[in-house]
Amino acid sequence: MALLRVLLTDPERDRYGLELCESAGMPSGTVYPILARLERIGWLESRLEYPETHVTQARPVRRYYRLTADGAEQARDAVARAYRARRRPAPGWLSPRPRNEPGGSGGRPSRAAREAGRSAGSLGGCAEHPAASEP
């Protein structure tokens, strides 16, 4: 999402790859594959800079990226969906199942319950530790 947010700050502006890496705070090994995918699906268009520019500056040629009109619209929708999703409760299929339901942990206490027992100094009064149930 960070890369889309950077591109959306000025959708009509051409930006080269390393500039996008720095602005998004992401490494090039992450940014360039994303740029390639976005270009493949039509959200971005790219172009190489004019040869006289990089020759006079004695550096390698840069590829510039810009959101297409459709890409800017799709990117705005994707970022908006991501923000809305963060504000919603987790969907039911993502929530842990209660311990007594099929697929649960078979009656084993939850991690929170186990930690609460430890913090109270109890070993749960199990048969292996009879001293735990003595005062």
Residue 94 has pLDDT above 70, yes or no: no
The whole-number average pLDDT for the span 108-117 is 53
Q: In Å, how far are 9, 28, 97 from 54, measured between CA atoms?
A: 26, 20, 59
Output the pTM of the full model. 0.61
pLDDT band of 121, cuts 50, 70, 90: very low
pLDDT value of position 10: 92
Q: In Å, how far are 1, 53, 54 from 59, measured between CA atoms?
A: 30, 9, 5
